[in-house]
């Protein structure tokens, strides 16, 4: 087991090998079947040639086994531009799970979420948009673990074979401020302020996904990573 973990740590690009091992079931959703049928980007591809999907989830907490996804924010981008017109937020009809403390932060009340869609439909939309792209998030373990929990409970899959880039991890590993422990905080808003990016007046999954995408583009430019192969940035 330790050997397997070490191999995974050394070779995060093994997500493609994981995808190839999965036996696709005809009873799975069309979105999942299509995603698993499409090869992941080659790990030696430079960032400048890739497409990304920035993600953010609003949830009732941080433990996927007990907490629920309330909304999914997504926006497409390349190193050239962010597709702002195509950004979206999917409300999930999990109003019965709303906690007062989270509702005060994100404004997602049972009344608002009553207009939402089923989690399975939201995940299918995510899979449709994620095909052929690198997934981008700030502190990606939240999104990664909630996706894995959904796939395990619904399809008995261990996790989603995907390549993740994490803007928090990127800052720690590649920036001088991160490596020298200069930052007092790695929160998304604090790193945006460090790079002189404006604050958003509202807090939502869609705005946070967009904020993450903007931060990523600034990091790549400031750290001169445009031609770096994606394997160098993959989270471990």
Residues whose CB is less than 8 angstroms from the CB of residue 230 and which lie 6 or more positions away in sequence, other chains included: 41, 43, 44, 45, 46, 47, 50, 134, 163, 165
Q: What is the C-alpha to C-alpha distance for residues 191 and 82, in angstroms, rounded to an integer?
A: 19
Residues in the chain where the model's pLDDT stays below 50 = 1-10
Domain-wise residue ranges, the chain: 40-232
Task: Give pLDDT tens digits for 35-61.
Answer: 999 999 999 999 999 999 999 999 999
Cα 13 to Cα 161: distance, rounded to the nearest angstrom: 10
- Nearest Cα to Cα of residue 121 among 25, 27, 30: 30
Question: Quick one: residue 10, left, alpha or beta (phi over 0 = left, psi -120 to 50 = alpha)?
Answer: alpha
Phi and psi at 71, nearest 5°, equal -155, 155
Alpha helices, DSSP H only, in 94-166? 100-106, 110-113, 119-130, 141-155
DSSP, res 67: -
The whole-number pLDDT of residue 201 equals 75
Which CB contacts under 8 angstroms, 24+ apart, belong to 99-103? 99/60, 99/61, 102/58, 102/59, 102/60, 102/61, 102/70
In DSSP notation, 34-58 reads: HHHHSPPPPTT-BGGG--EEEEEEE
What's the pLDDT at 11? Answer: 52
Q: What is the pLDDT of residue 1?
A: 42
pTM value > 0.85: yes
The CATH class that applies to domain 40-232 reads alpha beta
Of how many residues is the chain composed?
A: 236
């Amino acid at each position: 087991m330790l050997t397997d973990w070490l191999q995974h740590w050394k070779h995060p690009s093994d997500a493609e090998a994981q995808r190839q091992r999965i036996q696709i079931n005809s009873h799975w959703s069309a979105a999942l079947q299509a995603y698993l049928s499409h090869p992941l980007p080659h790990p030696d591809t430079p960032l400048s040639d890739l497409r990304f999907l920035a993600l953010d989830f609003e949830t009732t907490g941080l433990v996927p086994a007990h907490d629920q996804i309330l909304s999914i924010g997504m926006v497409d981008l390349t190193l050239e531009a962010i597709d702002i017109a195509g950004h979206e937020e999917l409300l999930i009809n999990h109003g019965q799970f709303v906690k007062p403390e989270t509702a005060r932060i994100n404004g997602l009340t049972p009344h608002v979420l009553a207009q939402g869609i089923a989690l399975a439909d939201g995940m299918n939309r995510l899979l449709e948009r994620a095909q052929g792209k690198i997934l981008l998030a700030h502190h990606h373990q939240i999104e990664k673990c909630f996706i894995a929990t959904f796939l395990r409970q619904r399809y008995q899959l261990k996790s989603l074979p995907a390549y993740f880039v994490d803007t928090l991890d990127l800052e720690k590993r590649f920036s001088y401020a991160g490596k020298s422990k200069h930052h007092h905080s790695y929160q998304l808003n604090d790193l945006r302020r460090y790079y002189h990016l404006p604050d958003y007046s509202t807090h939502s999954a869609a705005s946070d996904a967009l904020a993450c995408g903007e931060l990523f583009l600034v990091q790549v430019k400031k750290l001169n990573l445009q031609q770096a192969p994606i394997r160098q940035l993959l989270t471990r």
